[in-house]
Amino acid sequence: MKLTIQARDLTHALSAVIGGTDGRGTLSSVLLMVDPLLPDTLTLTTTDHEIACRASAPVATATPGRALSPARKLHDIVRALPPDLPLTITITKHNATLVAGSSRYALAGLDPDQFPDIPEPLIENGIRLDAAAWSGLLRRTLYAIGQSGAKFALHGLSVDLADGLLTAVGTDGHRLCVETLEVPGADGVAWSGIIPKKAMV
């Protein structure tokens, strides 16, 4: 696998998925993939088995393939490069060589087959939320969510959508915060679940 990409584009994509790592082994890595059907796009994926993050970035040239590289080390290297500098990444036997201008870096990688399978999101019944309204709801509820010492079910925000009304509940077992948000166009869509705090901060 070999690709050329602008440092700025890769930095932006890495910043979007870095929160999905947990710092241990395979789960501290980012899966880099160029699909033969989308040869001008690099897809980056991370997961900690609780949440998964995926982003994409345009590439100037690429040969299809997959690679598993240490996410934070790659992020640190690319972020330090001039944003307009073209970066060439070559993967050989799971290891990456990065060349940008006169700089050259080597990163030891892992077998990409070790990376967990990430299910594709189901968006058939997707809804659109006003970003400012959703951000305000999170700001008013996330403080009440339990910390790491609490029961797992209290580590997230309970969200229920029914009849065009979204209800969010945050609690740590001692305090409780309930907020509602009207969702235009969501009539007939019903969903409930717990969204991990890590996915919202």
Closest CA to 65 of 108, 21, 96: 96
CA gap 23, 48 in Å, rounded: 9
Strand order in the sheet with 176-182: 176-182, 165-171, 156-162, 191-196
C-beta separation of 98 from 89 below 8 A: yes
Low-confidence ranges of the chain (pLDDT < 50): none
Number of H helices, E strands in the chain: 3, 13
Closest CA to 95 of 80, 105, 86: 105
> What pLDDT was estimated at residue 25?
66
> What pLDDT was estimated at residue 20?
86
DSSP code per residue over 64-97: -EEEEEEHHHHHHHHHTS-TTSEEEEEEETTEEE
Helix (H) or strand (E) holding 176, with range, is: strand 176-182
- 121: amino acid identity, one letter: P
> What pLDDT was estimated at residue 141?
92
Structure tokens at 46: 């991370």
What residues does 194 pair with on adjacent strands? 158
CA gap 43, 153 in Å, rounded: 31
CB 101: neighbour CB atoms within 10 A? Answer: 11
Closest CA to 47 of 25, 64, 65: 25
C-beta separation of 161 from 187 below 8 A: no
DSSP-based three-state secondary structure for 49: coil
> What pLDDT was estimated at residue 128?
85
Write down all domains in the chain, each with its CATH number in brackets.
2-114 (3.10.150.10), 131-199 (3.10.150.10)
> What pLDDT was estimated at residue 155?
82
> What pLDDT was estimated at residue 148?
66
> What pLDDT was estimated at residue 95?
94
pLDDT in tens, 80-122: 999 999 999 999 999 999 999 999 999 999 999 999 988 777 6
> What pLDDT was estimated at residue 125?
65
